[in-house]
Amino acid sequence: MNYSTAPSSAELDNLCINTVRFLSVDAVEKANSGHPGLPMGAAPMAYVLWTRFLKHNPTNPSWIDRDRFVLSAGHGSMLPYSLLHLTGYDLPLEQIQLFRQWGSKTPGHPERGLTPGVETTTGPLGQGFANSVGMAIAEDYLAARYNRPDYEIVDHYTYALVSDGDLMEGVSSEAASLAGHLKLGKLICLYDDNHITLSAGTNIAFTEDRAMRFEAYGWHTQIVENGNDLAAIDHALREAQAEKERPSLILVQTHLGYGSPNKQDTFKAHGSPLGDKEVKLTKEALGWPLDPTFYIPDQALAHFRRAVDTGRQAEAEWNATFTKYAKAFPDLAKEFQQGMAGDLPKGWDAGIPSFPADPKGMATRVASGKVLNEIDKKLPSLIGGSADLDPSTHTALQAVGDFENPRDEAGNLQGSAGGGWSYAGRNLHFGVREHGMGAIANGLAAHGGIIPFTATFLIFSDYMRPPIRLAALMELGVIYVFTHDSIALGEDGPTHQPVEQLASLRAIPELTVIRPCDANETAVAWHVAIESRDRPVALILTRQNLPTLDRTQFAAAEGLRRGAYILKDVAEGKPDLILIGTGSEVSLIVRAGENLTNEGMHVRIVSMPSWELFDAQPQSYRDSVLPPSIHPRLAVEAGATQGWCKYVGGAGDVIGVGRFGASAPGEVVMREYGFTVENICQRAMELVHGKRPLLHQRTDAEAMQVWRNEGDPN
Ligand SMILES: Cc1ncc(C[n+]2csc(CCOP(=O)(O)OP(=O)(O)O)c2C)c(N)n1
């Protein structure tokens, strides 16, 4: 298929595009699994973008000022894998041939950290699109903070390739709305407008005018009527780059499974191999040799591989500029490099307050706000905000500016955190868009140079679950502030009172969940969260006041770092009972422990703010806190009891919440649900003296009664 003489530029373009198409087709065929349709239809726009526009260095995929490329429709993963291989990333052809196989670098959907050049993990539709909004925000923030006249050290685009499914998912509406409001002019999305989804034509469920929808969000939109028209795609991309005020959506009308005589424009080309016969027909139709498979014409490869030299050169030029910048602005340069490397500046934590003992105390959300507003002074990479809940979550960063388009009139400043209105502002006003907020935070973290935090009520973590899960999967150090953490929030009632959310978050692998018991544990929790740069952390905080424990009487709050620690031990001998609590229930078990001690019981009090941190400790430490020989253990937590059996054991007991909450003042709800010193003492006595029948000893009626009131105690 190589041309014997130099091909014309149109022939070369065609050769390159078909190379992408058939690498994708052959890989899916060999794996007998995957999605050929998208790469076949979108290959021309991807080719134009990657060979004429994308600023990247295949030999250094982490070059700071590269353009970011996101394939939001992650099922089309063979498209970027083909491009990464062809343009010279460290992704050899053998890896393409191992598509979707155990241990390969070409997993079913793109996974950040696994494949060089993959910026973000995609597959759940809509997430990548919202990630790209986060990346564009990161770029604007870093450019505003670090660029100086003649030194545009941060100057790149974010490109996303999105599909029908991406634009149908609600998260894309949230993110697009915010991107339009913020006027993120350097965000450019190519929409593979092919009218087909997994099981249908879009005319069955998706008929709104997408261009008008995005226009209404404040986007710049263009339509390319023929997805194989390279000049039109080229032109549209140039126009999009020239548009500084609005993010761009280019609707490129394509054909799913382009070239396949029997499957093009049908959902049969979406998610299954074409099959031997159809591959043959398709190759014939597009003038491609049947053999060998995974065929890469030399001329196509040479054309793609020019990216290696141009990329190296682009980075070298950037390095030269940066060297001059570092001479002119040494402090800024150091700060920038440190942030991009994910390193924390020395003494970043110097201002973290410690809180004096106080029986009245404060809500952990309030303590969190105080800590956050100290940390932020030394950590310019810390930016974030809430989903319209700043006054409730205490997450506004005072006087460090609002992240808003600098060309906008400040206008109505209700809700402004103060300190200026620009892209250098560090308060992100996400609006009431929890799902978008989570996915945007992933984009901020994936871009680099940013420590993102988000905030909302714990109950609405449910609205953020998909991006939280992806943050954990991608090992991104996003920090989630979740306040109003239990039924104790009171009058708002069961719709707002979280019950199963803690258990649900704990079920996500690689996520650290921390529920501090007082102001000082909250300070240490923030410490842990900031230091956790490759793992997301959820801080679970109260609305109501909690006593600030007197740490001369109790162990230091630093114990939080180990997940669980002995807050107060028996005066001598072996404990008869271990009381375990988290968050707001720790002060309850402390008081219950005092009462029980007065009754002559030997009680150990354990604060257990984080299961994950505890599980990461050596066995010897875990045994020292919860000795296997001590069976009577009572855990108290205002949440679902699921999972606690791991710590209380078969002979232990849990006071938790096994039903929805109720609308009443918080103290009343807590009392009615058994979160009282008296109930804890009674249950402890029953446990130690064996009066309360264990689950298997109960009659069915008794078991049902307990189950109704408390949920599964084990
Ligand atoms: C959140 C989510 N829901 C469902 C799916 C399953 N799924 C994968 S692709 C797809 C639809 C594909 O349609 P489109 O986005 O137009 O992609 P194309 O058919 O053009 O490849 C669906 C429903 C998914 N990946 N993510």
Name which residue sits closest to atom 18 of ligand 1, judged by CA.
Answer: 197
| CA 14 to centroid of ligand 1, rounded, Å | 28
Query: To which H or E segment does residue 480 belong?
Result: strand 479-483
Secondary structure of residue 627 in the 3-state scheme: coil
Q: Which atom of ligand 1 is found nearest the CA of 192?
A: 20
Q: CA 228 to CA 43: how far, in whole Å?
A: 9
CA of 167 to the centre of ligand 1 (A): 10
Q: In sequence order, what DSSP letters do the residues of 173-232 get, joined into one string?
A: HHHHHHHHHHT-TTEEEEEEE-SB-SSSBGGGT--S-HHHHHHHHT-EEEEES-TT-HHH
Bridging pattern class, strands 358-363 and 545-548 = antiparallel
403: phi then psi, degrees, rounded to nearest 5: -75, 105
Probe target for ligand 1 pocket from 25, 75, 166, 266, with the most ligand atoms within 8 Å of CB: 75
- For residue 160, give the 3-state DSSP assignment: strand
**At residue 291, does pLDDT exceed 90?**
yes
**In which element (H, E) is residue 308 found?**
helix 298-328
List the beta strands (DSSP E) in 232-345. Answer: 248-253
Closest atom, ligand 1, to C-alpha of 163: 15
Q: What are the tokens at 217?
A: 């969000």
Give the whole-angstrom CA distance, residue 535 versus residue 548: 28
Distance CA 239, CA 90 (A): 32
Return the number of other C-beta atoms located less than 10 Å from residue 354's C-beta: 12
Q: By alpha-carbon position, which residue is closest to atom 21 of ligand 1?
A: 38
Sequence letter at residue 180: G
| Residue 1: pLDDT over 80 | no
Q: What does the DSSP 8-state code read for residue 576?
A: S
Q: Could you tell me where the DSSP H helices lie in 394-511?
A: 434-447, 465-474, 501-506
What's the CA-to-centroid distance between 73 and ligand 1, angstroms? 7
Query: In whole angstroms, what is the distance from residue 658 CA to residue 666 CA?
Result: 17
Ligand 1 atom having least distance to the Cα of 197? 13
Hey, whose CA ends up nearest to atom 15 of ligand 1? 165
Mean pLDDT of the region 590-616: 98
pLDDT tens readout for residues 61-90:
999 999 999 999 999 999 999 999 999 999
pLDDT given for residue 498 in this prediction: 98
CA of 294 to the centre of ligand 1 (A): 26
Partners of residue 427 on adjacent β-strands: 384, 402
Helix H or strand E segment including 578: strand 577-581
* pLDDT, tens digit, 9 for 90 and up, residues 94-119: 999 999 999 999 999 999 999 999 99
Tell me the pLDDT of the chain averaged across its residues: 95
Residue type, 481: V
The residue type found at 393 is T
Measured in Å, residue 180 CA sits from the centre of ligand 1 at 24
CB 444 within 8 A of CB 138: yes
Which one of 78, 194, 270, 272 would you pick to mutate in the ligand 1 pocket, going by the greatest count of ligand atoms within 8 A of its CB?
270
Q: Which of these, 215, 219, 208, lies nearest to 179 by C-alpha position? A: 219
Give CA–CA dist 177/179, Å, rounded.
Answer: 6
Structure tokens given for 433: 């868009």
Dist. CA 198 → ligand 1 center (Å): 6
**517-543 per-residue burial string, b: 16 or more CB within 10 A, e: under 16:** bbbbbbbbbbbbbbebeebbbbbbbbb
Element (H, E) at 317: helix 298-328
Q: How far apart are CA 131 and CA 463, in angstroms?
A: 16
Percent of all residues in the chain with a pLDDT value above 90, rounded to a whole number? 93
Ligand 1 shell residues, CB under 6 Å: 35, 37-38, 73, 75-76, 123-125, 163-165, 169, 192, 194, 196-198, 256, 270
CA 73 to ligand 1: nearest atom = 15
434 catalytically annotated:
yes
Greater confidence (708 vs 48) lies with 48
Q: Is the pLDDT of residue 468 over 50?
A: yes
Q: Is 444 exposed, middle or buried (0-12, 13-18, 19+ CB in 10 A)?
A: buried
What are the counts of helices (DSSP H) followed by strands (DSSP E) for the chain?
25, 19
Q: Which atom of ligand 1 is nearest to the CA of 256?
A: 20
Q: Which of 139, 434, 521, 710 is catalytic?
A: 434
pLDDT in tens, 399-440: 899 999 987 766 557 888 888 889 999 999 999 999 999 999
> Measured from the CA of 41, which atom of ligand 1 is nearest?
20
What pLDDT score was predicted for residue 411?
A: 56
SS3 161: strand
Q: 290 CB contacts (<8 Å, ≥6 apart)? A: 280, 283, 284
> What pLDDT shows up at residue 406?
82
Q: What's 427's DSSP letter? A: B
Residue 203 CA, ligand 1 centroid: distance in Å: 15
For the CA of 168, the nearest atom of ligand 1: 15
* Residue to mutate, 166, 190, 198, ligand 1, most ligand atoms under 8 Å from C-beta: 198
Count CB-CB contacts under 10 A for residue 568. 20
Closest protein CA for atom 19 of ligand 1 = 197
For atom 9 of ligand 1, the residue with the nearest CA is 198
Judged on CB neighbours under 10 Å (0-12, 13-18, 19+), 696 is: exposed
Mean pLDDT, residues 210-234 taken together: 98
Instruction: Count CB-CB contacts under 10 A for residue 700.
Output: 7
Residue with the smallest CA separation from ligand 1 atom 25 is: 124
What does the pLDDT read at residue 575?
97
Say how far residue 57 (Cα) sits from the centre of its chain.
26
Tokens of 337: 């490099």
The answer on pLDDT for 259 being more than 60 is: yes
How many Å lie between the centroid of ligand 1 and the Cα of residue 125? 6
**Tens digit of each residue's pLDDT (9 = 90 or more) over 305-322:** 999 999 999 999 999 999
Give the torsion sign (CA, 694, 696, 702, 705). Answer: positive
Residue 355's closest CA among 559, 579, 548, 69? 548
Whether the per-residue pLDDT at 574 is higher than 60: the answer is yes
What confidence score (pLDDT) does residue 698 get? 57
Mapped onto helix, strand or coil, the DSSP state of residue 518 is coil
Atom of ligand 1 nearest to the CA of 169: 1
pLDDT of residue 708: 59
DSSP per-residue string spanning 361-396 = EEEHHHHHHHHHHHHHHH-TTEEEEESS-HHHHT--
Q: Are 586 and 517 contacting, i.e. CB atoms less than 8 angstroms apart?
A: yes
pLDDT digit string, tens, across residues 377-403: 999 999 999 999 999 999 999 989 999
d(CA 628, ligand 1 centre) in Å: 49
Measure Cα distances from 357 to 520, 562, 593, 608 in Å: 9, 22, 19, 20
Cβ-based neighbour number of residue 470 at 10 Å? 25
Query: Which residues partner with 540 through β-bridges?
Result: 482
What value, to the nearest 5°, has the Cα angle with vertex 402 and ends 397 and 407?
170
CA 169 to ligand 1 center in whole angstroms: 10
Residue whose CA lies nearest to ligand 1 atom number 26? 124
Mean pLDDT of 165-187: 98
At residue 168, what is the residue type?
M
Q: Cα angle at 150 between 147 and 153, to 5 degrees?
A: 40
Identify the band that residue 714 occupies on the pLDDT scale cut at 50, 70 and 90: very low
Reported pTM: 0.96
CB 672 within 8 A of CB 655: no
Distance separating the N- and C-terminal Cα atoms of the chain:
67
State how beta strands 402-403 and 479-483 pair: unpaired
